Amino acid sequence: MRGIEKSVMESIVQPAEESTTLSVIVCMGSSCHLKGSYEIIAFLKESIKAKGLERKVILKGSFCMEKCGEGVSVKINDEILSVRSVTEMDHIFHDKITKALESHDLGNKGRAASAGSESAISMYEEG
């Protein structure tokens, strides 16, 4: 497994809940590992838990995304970002993840009021 212990890979995967609305995938390939993927993962796990988003965000690890560049590859929706630091990931978490979930929740509330029921949708489906 390219030097990554299976138990480490499994430890970052959070169980998918029926209400999961967003998937965040962090590259754990050799290059990203050397650039700090484990620090990014630790930050994301902590942030997801601190904000109570365990049922709305699923965090996954991935082998090489073939986007080796300046930083750790992080895929949110269909967009692959190159994250150079935990500080940068903090900004991305707020700007991309939190805001996407807020707009999704607002959209669901509007649909629920007009349709009479609320359903969770997946903003990202891994193929």
Place 1 in a pLDDT band, splitting at 50, 70 and 90: very low
Whether the CB-CB separation of 13 and 61 falls below 8 Å is answered with yes
Alpha helix locations (H) across the chain? 6-12, 30-34, 37-50, 86-92, 99-115
pLDDT attached to residue 122: 28
The residues that bridge with 72 in the sheet, in sequence order, are: 83
Looking at per-residue pLDDT, the higher value among 46 and 68 belongs to 46
pLDDT attached to residue 105: 64
Residue 76: phi, psi to the nearest 5? -125, 120
Burial category of 91 from C-beta neighbours within 10 Å (exposed 0-12, middle 13-18, buried 19 and up): exposed
- What span, in angstroms and rounded, lies between the C-alpha atoms of 43 and 17? 21
The domain locations on the chain are 6-112
Place 43 in a pLDDT band, splitting at 50, 70 and 90: very high
- What span, in angstroms and rounded, lies between the C-alpha atoms of 36 and 38? 5
CATH C-level class of 6-112: alpha beta
